[in-house]
Amino acid sequence: MSAEKQIELVGINKHYGSFHALKDINLTIPKGQFVALVGPSGCGKSTLLRSLAGLESISGGTMKIGGEVMNDVPPRKRDVAMVFQSYALYPHMTVEQNLTYSLRLKRVSKEEMKRATEEVAKTIGLSQLLHRYPRELSGGQRQRVAMGRAIIRHPKAFLFDEPLSNLDAALRVHMRKEIRALHDRLGATSVYVTHDQIEAMTMADHVVVMRDGVIEQQGSPLELYDRPATKFVAGFIGSPAMNFLPATIGPDGRSVHLDADGLGNLFIKGVQDPGRKVIVGLRPEHLEVGPISTAAITLPIGVVESTGSVTYLTGSGDVDLTVVVTGRSDIRPGAHVGLSIAPERVHVFDAETGQAL
């Protein structure tokens, strides 16, 4: 994409006393892109977002929004809008006053404000609720007001800080689609922080996986799924999580021997140093159940869980291996099943560094 760079982060560092919260963050976000920052709690994703908003100062690096350096610019002059996890609606103002607060600060004329309010209220479906107070709204409605408050400004970027985590599961799935649709309709640039990798995968054009203040990997959702750069990313992206098994590269360099008793050998893509200690990553949905005679792995089954549409099979004993089977399965706990997997679907990571090989 040759689109204009809307947000550009170069070598961003952030220290809290002796704690190094963000380490050399480099990230470029073209105009109109939806970027998800994802990672476990404490990985620095929220700190990065708050730095973009200007609520945290950065210790080093260059932060550009819309082509202007924003390092020391106060939040009010950055022209970004933020949706908070708690929504942060002003409790003493009605929905309408909440929506128009930023416009009032900009001294926008009454007529224009009215027009903008009506437009936004229609967009987010709150026209009937303009004179209510936040306490009189349901969780989903509050969420919409928080969105509307951001939309009404037509900012350079939308910043979302886990906006869906206070909603129930069904509403979350619904709002996910709605936020993405809104993003597309407005042609906005969005940065979306979440700890839920499914949100990141389904909503974003570009996913940034963070850990301990470092960007582990960034790329399109399917790129991260298909070619995780590290064991951490491989384990974080995808649900249920990828299985990891310690293994040793075989003498031919084209297969691995799984260290756990009775699991057998797998073919891999490419050639590795024979005898090298590795970790093999197998996605539960890529393992195929078949006859034991032709299978690479024989797995004793410990637990069988069915959701109706899929069935999860989990190995018993020391072998922590999960398999997803579509539909129902007549496999019972205690049975042994044969598993096979295509060589190009076997992920191999260095046993020490966790880097993909």
Task: Check residue 256 for interaction with other proteins (CB under 8 A).
Answer: no
Task: Check residue 127 for interaction with other proteins (CB under 8 A).
Answer: no
**In the structure encoding, which two tokens stand for residue 309, read together?**
């549409």
Interface pick for other proteins out of 81, 204, 207, 346 (rule CB under 8 A): 81
Question: Least distance to other proteins from the beta carbon of 91, Å?
Answer: 5
78, 53 Cβ separation under 8 angstroms: yes
Instruction: Between 80 and 209, name the residue whose CB sits nearer to other proteins.
Output: 80
Q: List all residues 6 or more positions away from 248 whose beta carbon is below 8 Å from its beta carbon.
A: 256, 257, 259, 275, 276, 277, 278
Sheet containing 243-249, strands listed edge to edge, beginning at the edge strand earlier in sequence: 265-267, 255-258, 243-249, 277-282, 347-350
Q: What is the C-alpha separation between 12 and 211, in angstroms, rounded?
A: 15
Q: What is the C-alpha separation between 51 and 35, in angstroms, rounded?
A: 16
Task: Check residue 267 for interaction with other proteins (CB under 8 A).
Answer: no
Question: Least distance to other proteins from the beta carbon of 317, Å?
Answer: 48
Instruction: Between 93 and 186, name the residue whose CB sits nearer to other proteins.
Output: 93
Instruction: Between 52 and 129, name the residue whose CB sits nearer to other proteins.
Output: 52
Phi, psi of 260 (to 5 degrees): -65, 145
Per DSSP bridges, beta strands 297-306 and 336-340 are: antiparallel
Question: Least distance to other proteins from the beta carbon of 180, Å?
Answer: 22
Question: Least distance to other proteins from the beta carbon of 51, Å?
Answer: 13
Binding map of other proteins across residues 23-62, x = CB under 8 A, - = no contact: ------------------------------xxx-------
Pick from 166, 159, 165: which is nearest to 137 by CA?
Answer: 166
Question: Least distance to other proteins from the beta carbon of 308, Å?
Answer: 40
Q: What is the C-alpha separation between 155 and 69, in angstroms, rounded?
A: 16
Q: What is the C-alpha separation between 149 and 151, in angstroms, rounded?
A: 6
Interface pick for other proteins out of 20, 59, 84, 195 (rule CB under 8 A): 84
The alpha carbon of 82 is separated from its chain's Cα centroid by a whole number of angstroms, namely 18
Choices 27-35, 82-90, 248-256, 280-288 (CB under 8 A): range interacting with other proteins: 82-90
Task: Check residue 86 for interaction with other proteins (CB under 8 A).
Answer: yes
Phi, psi of 11 (to 5 degrees): 55, 45
Q: Name the β-bridge partners of 323.
A: 313
Interface pick for other proteins out of 16, 67, 69, 106 (rule CB under 8 A): 106
Task: Check residue 102 for interaction with other proteins (CB under 8 A).
Answer: yes
Task: Check residue 154 for interaction with other proteins (CB under 8 A).
Answer: no
Instruction: Between 70 and 296, name the residue whose CB sits nearer to other proteins.
Output: 70
Q: List all residues 6 or more positions away from 66 whose beta carbon is below 8 Å from its beta carbon.
A: 6, 79, 156
Interface pick for other proteins out of 19, 72, 135, 308 (rule CB under 8 A): 135
Interface pick for other proteins out of 73, 88, 130, 356 (rule CB under 8 A): 88
Interface pick for other proteins out of 91, 187, 291, 308 (rule CB under 8 A): 91
Q: List all residues 6 or more positions away from 113 whose beta carbon is below 8 Å from its beta carbon.
A: 100, 103, 104
- Which chain residues interact with other proteins by CB under 8 A? 53-55, 74-76, 78, 80-82, 84-86, 88, 90-92, 101-102, 105-106, 135, 149, 153, 159
